[in-house]
Structures are given as C-alpha cells and as structure tokens.
Structure 1
C-alpha cells in the first residue's frame, strides 16, 4: 500500500504537532468538559489543561467529541440566558 503525496503531507503535519508527553484519548476525554467550560467562559486555559488542546489538535475523534460537547454547553448557556 503506497501513500499519496497528500497523505504523506498530512502525516508529516501531525508528526510536527506531537509533543514528548501526550495524553491518550481516555485521559483527554476525562478532562474535556472542564476544558470546554473554561473555553466557553472565555477564561484562559489552565496549564493543566493545555495538554488537552494539544491532543485535540492531533486527534480527530476527540475533537469531534469536544465540539459536540461545546455545542451542547453553548446551547444550555443560551437556554439559561433566554
């Protein structure tokens, strides 16, 4: 199986984004609600949650979970304000 130039470029882009110490998906999802709440509140992301931001940059599955959660939380906030 050979990779196309586009696929190789995408893999290299992901490799450049990796860090020496990465969260796995389970660790990320355990903290993603706190991350989403901080983000929606406009607060700066605490140092302990910055690894989540890094994980979301390289993991499409966790990013989808985060985006769904963020939309839900945003909807709930809008419901309270109305």
Structure 2
C-alpha cells in the first residue's frame, strides 16, 4: 500500500459513510473559490456550502487545495 493511501478498512468505512448529497473533487474544486471567499470574509462557509465542507473533511487533496487558496488570498492582503 502506498504511503498516504487509506487502508482497506478505512476505505470500507468511507464507502459505508457515503451519502447521496456528496460531491466529487471536480465539483468541490468548482466551488472552492466561493468557499474560500466565504471563509475569508468570516461568513459561515460550512453552513452555506455544506457539501463542500463535507468533501474537504474527507478529501485530503481538496483540503490542501483550500488551504493553499486561503494562503494565496491572504498573501494578497
């Protein structure tokens, strides 16, 4: 198994926790700028875009993308 890859047990848990209202990485990426702007402006991004919040909680790559985007926003301040 590659480093950083979930174990088979973790993958089964993730599959079992899947719900119909989930989005994939592409959909999350499309909303990432909007989500980051909401976070940056102090609004409740999680309440306004709950599917994005849920996705970034379970997806390391998208979470890192959001963190990088927020850093870029703050670098422009």
The TM tier, using the shorter chain, reads 0.7 to 0.9
What value does the CA root-mean-square deviation take over the aligned residues?
Answer: 2.5
Q: Which has the higher helix share?
A: 1
Specify the alignment match of 2:4 in structure 1: none
CA distance in 2, matches of 1:57, 1:46: 11
Bigger CA radius of gyration: 1
What is the CA distance between 1:74 and its match in structure 2? 1.3
1:1-82 maps to which residues of 2 (within 5 A)?
A: 7=7, 10-11=10-11, 14=14, 18-45=18-45, 49-77=49-77
Unaligned ranges ≥5, structure 1:
2-6, 78-82
TM-score in terms of structure 2 length: 0.72
Unaligned ranges ≥5, structure 2:
2-6
Equivalenced residue count is: 73
